[in-house]
Every structure is written in C-alpha cells, then in structure tokens.
Chains A and B, each alone.
Chain A
Amino acid sequence: MIGEILRITAEHVLIVAIAVGVAVVLGIPLGIYCTRNPRAGRVALRVIDTIQTIPSLALFGFLIPVPFIGGIGMRTAIVALILYSLLPIVRNTFVGIRGVDPVVRDAGVALGLTSRQLLFDVELPLAMPSIVAGIRIATVIGIGVATIAAAVGGGGLGTFIFRGVAMVDTRLILAGALPAAALALIADVVLSVVERRMIKG
C-alpha cells in the first residue's frame, strides 16, 4: 500500500509539474503580450477567465474526441490543468508589469534602453514577485485540481479518492487526500521562500 501511495503521488507530482511548467512557458509571454497590446490583451484575459468557469468533467467531455491533445489518460488531464493554470500566471504577469512605476519606466527610456532592454532589465525584474506569486497560486491550486485526472484515466492521487468515494471507503479517500494536502503545503512553503527571495533581491 505504501509503495502504491508513493508511486501514485509521484504520478501526481508529474502531472502538476508538467502542467504548471507548460503554463509558465505559455503564460508569461502571453501576460507580457497583454501589456503591449491592451485591446487584444483584454480579449485574451477574458477568454482565460472563461476557461476557468468550465467544469472539469465538461472540459474532459470536449477534449476526449480531440486528436493529439485529447483522448483518455494523463495527456488530457495535463491539457485541462494547463488551461486552468493559465489564469493566475497570465494575470499576475500582466498586473506585475502594469504595476511598474511609470517614473522608473521613463527613467529607463531616458537612459536610452530599447523596448527589449526595458522589458528584461526593468519591467520583468520588478514584476518578478508578482509573477512568482502567480506560479505559486497555480501550483497549489493545481495540486488540488489534478485529482480530477482520475476521471479520465489519467492517474494521480484522485485515483484513490474516486475509488474511495465509489466504495465509501474513508481510508482510501484519505490515502488520496492526505498526500495531496501535504504536497500542496510543501509546494506553498518552497515557493513562498522563492517569492521572498525575489522581493529582497
């Protein structure tokens, strides 16, 4: 049993790590894009907000027939989790950069920085605490949300929870819920340390 819990916990970590990783790679550039093109940005943020309101089972229903990204198993679960993780990352990137003091930005322009230098040397470093906070939210929520992977045969700690609920077996439910709670706490502590470093640095 312990071995199985460890294996499934590792599966769970894998699902969340891939999903949040991809969401970071997609979400930060998207957040930056939103600050550069306010009109298109508003539409993009609205779409990402709307994705958040789709219930996971409905989202799976849409994804199952879709080739390449859909189907049954871990891949579909990861795709859904990426979509759910985009909101905090994109929005915090957007808000972080928009929150940079215009005086600082103007000083950069006066120093003759190019738009690219302005982004990488001024805006992104100043926005970093907000961006890391977004990643932290996405990770902690993602650890909880990833339990729904078990609804599409995607594995993870939800497997225990779904089996436990189907059988009214409290021990099985706890075998899924407790490791998930522990993972969320660990992730939160680790990322809060990173966040504090960012604020100091």
Chain B
Amino acid sequence: MKRFNVGFAGALLFLTACSEKAPIVVGSKNFTESVILGEMVAQKLESAGCKVDRRLNMGGTFVCDSAMTSGALDTYVEYSGTALEAILKQPKADVAAAYAKRGLHWGPALGFNNTFAMIVRKADSPGLLNISDLATVADRFRPGFGYEFVERPDGWNGLQHAYNLQFAKPPKTMDLGLTYKALASNEIDLIAGNSTDGLIASLGLIALNDDRHYFPRYDAAVVYRNDIDKKCGGASKALESLRGKLDDAAMRQLNFEVDGKKRDVAAVAHDALGR
C-alpha cells in the first residue's frame, strides 16, 4: 500500500512537470457587453490554438485592472476613457504609452465607442433630450447607479459639477445589473448605462444627449500583458486580428442578441467572429 502511494505521488509529479504551458486567462467586467467581448477574445485565442481559462463577469474596472497588473489576468477588453480617467487618472495622457509603462499592451481597438449613457424613461420624461435638461427635474428625479459610477472621477460627481446639477435626493447605489430593472419598475428615474446597451429602445427608455461633452471617448480595445506570447505563441497576432471588428451598431446588436433575445453568449460571440 505504502509502495503504491509513493508510486502514485511520483506519477502525479511526473504529470505535473510534463503538463503544457499555463492557459491564457481571459477576464471581463460585470456587464453583458464586457462578457460578450471576453468570450470573443477567448474564442479567438482558442481558434489560434491557445489554451484559455475564462474568468468572465469579474467585479468591475478596478478589479480587472488590478488582476492584470498582478498577473492574475492576461487579457480583457477595456475602454480608452475608462483607462485614462478612472485607472490612470491622467485624462490627457497617451493611453498606449502609459500602459506600456505598466507592462501592459494597449492592443487593437475593436472599432466602437461605448460612452456612458444617462438614461430615463421616455413616457414620463417629456421634453428631456439633453443631460442639461435634467436641471428641470432635479428636484424630483431619483437617481440610481452602480457603485463604480458613483466613485469614478468621470462618474456622477463630475457630471453634476459639469452640468451644474443639484439633485434633491442622493443616488441609490446598487448592483449595476439591477439598475435597468429598477428604472423600468419606476423605482428610480435616472440611471447610468452604456450607449451600446441593447435594451434602451425596447424598454421604452431614452439616452440623453451629452450636450456639454462631459464624457470622453470610450473606444473599446483589447488590453493584454506584454508576455502573453510566452504563454502561447501567436496569441498577440490572433488578438490583433480583432481590430476594427465591430462598429457601434454591431456592438449594440450583439448586446441585444443576449439581453433582448436571451441568446447564449458563447453562440453570439461565435457568430460575431464568423462575420
């Protein structure tokens, strides 16, 4: 019995030593679009023959970024405005150069801009078109946001300041994924979504126009660690081929396929790559 155990342990050691390289760890943030993009990145790497470990739907921007810099994640999709304002806190910097200093590569831009969208219900907000129009309803509208938007420098506080808005009620902070449901159920009146969200039109909501150009551009790009090709040769080349793959309308459609038509993320990502 004892002999067997030793042999077993030896076999395990042998197997571990011979096992192939560590998989590329692909992450995403906690909203539909990010999960779809993470899945697209994962499938692209797999089609290039790489082994992939999916860590989709993680806590949010800051969780993904700290996982990248610590090496727990190898790649995920980030937005230029988020990188500059929230992560680097240098709105005027060159994002690729600043990322290179952190050992990360600001990779191919996917081709769309997903800015924050301040969203209200169409029915009970007649006359609301621009964010500056919120001044007329600031005394009665109940805002509700995810925790990240309330804390970010390019989030709620900056917006109120830029538009000189003073809401009577402080925002309700809650899980980002529940804000649409709460808005549609009349529990809150203003949320911060994404301009490429698929459900804005179908839920009877409208995204207000950023008439004072408060929000910067949020161009989606694949970020990866500089050493990604050591884990799998050809990984960066495969990711590079995603450049310009999606425009705003295409991304909105993918989001609608998942959120509106309830299709499986992996299938939607597969179709998007096949185009």
Residues of A within 8 A of B (CB): 57, 60-61, 64-65, 70-73, 150-153, 159, 162-163, 165-168
In the complex, the answer to whether A71 meets B187 with C-beta atoms within 8 Å is yes
A-B contact pairs, 22 of them (CB 8 A): A60-B175, A61-B178, A64-B178, A64-B181, A65-B184, A71-B185, A72-B172, A150-B173, A151-B178, A152-B178, A162-B147, A163-B150, A165-B147, A166-B59, A166-B60, A166-B62, A166-B148, A167-B62, A167-B147, A167-B148, A168-B65, A168-B66
CB distance from B20 to the nearest CB of A (A): 32
In the complex, the answer to whether A61 meets B181 with C-beta atoms within 8 Å is yes
Instruction: Tell me which of B59, B177, B184 contacts A57 (CB under 8 A).
Output: B177
Residues of B within 8 A of A (CB): 59-63, 65-66, 144, 146-148, 150-151, 172-175, 177-178, 181-182, 184-185, 187-188
Which residues of chain A come closer than 8 Å to B173, judged between CB atoms?
A: 150, 153, 159, 162-163
Which residues of chain A come closer than 8 Å to B146, judged between CB atoms?
A: 166
In the complex, the answer to whether A166 meets B151 with C-beta atoms within 8 Å is yes
Closest residue of A by beta carbon distance from B60: A166
Which residues of chain A come closer than 8 Å to B148, judged between CB atoms?
A: 166-167
Which residues of chain A come closer than 8 Å to B182, judged between CB atoms?
A: 64, 72
CB distance from A172 to the nearest CB of B (A): 10
Instruction: Tell me which of B65, B144, B151, B184 contacts A153 (CB under 8 A).
Output: B144
Majority secondary structure of chain B interface residues (helix, strand, loop or mixed) = helix
Q: Count of A-B contacts with CB under 8 A?
A: 66
- CA A65 to CA B180, docked complex, whole Å: 11
A73 with B175, Cβ < 8 A, contacts A166-B59, A167-B62 known: no
Which residues of chain B come closer than 8 Å to A153, judged between CB atoms?
A: 144, 172-174
CB distance from B254 to the nearest CB of A (A): 22
In the complex, the answer to whether A163 meets B187 with C-beta atoms within 8 Å is no
CB distance from B185 to the nearest CB of A (A): 4
Count chain B CB atoms within 10 A of each CB in A65, A71, A72 and give the residue with the most: A72
- CA A150 to CA B174, docked complex, whole Å: 6
Instruction: Tell me which of B63, B144, B147, B177 contacts A163 (CB under 8 A).
Output: B147
Count chain B CB atoms within 10 A of each CB in A151, A163, A165, A167 and give the residue with the most: A167
Count chain A CB atoms within 10 A of each CB in B144, B173, B184 and give the residue with the most: B173
- CA A71 to CA B144, docked complex, whole Å: 12
Closest residue of A by beta carbon distance from B142: A72
Which residues of chain A come closer than 8 Å to B62, judged between CB atoms?
A: 166-168
A165 with B174, Cβ < 8 A, contacts A61-B181, A64-B182, A153-B144 known: no
Which residues of chain B come closer than 8 Å to A72, judged between CB atoms?
A: 144, 172, 174, 182, 187-188
In the complex, the answer to whether A151 meets B63 with C-beta atoms within 8 Å is no
Which residues of chain A come closer than 8 Å to B147, judged between CB atoms?
A: 162-163, 165-167
- Beyond A71-B185, A166-B148, list 14 extra A-B contacts (CB 8 Å): A61-B178, A65-B181, A65-B184, A65-B185, A72-B172, A151-B175, A153-B172, A162-B175, A163-B147, A166-B59, A166-B151, A167-B148, A168-B63, A168-B66
In the complex, the answer to whether B151 meets A57 with C-beta atoms within 8 Å is no
CB distance from A170 to the nearest CB of B (A): 10
A152 with B185, Cβ < 8 A, contacts A163-B151, A165-B59, A166-B59 known: no
- CA A153 to CA B60, docked complex, whole Å: 18
Which residues of chain A come closer than 8 Å to B174, judged between CB atoms?
A: 72, 150-153
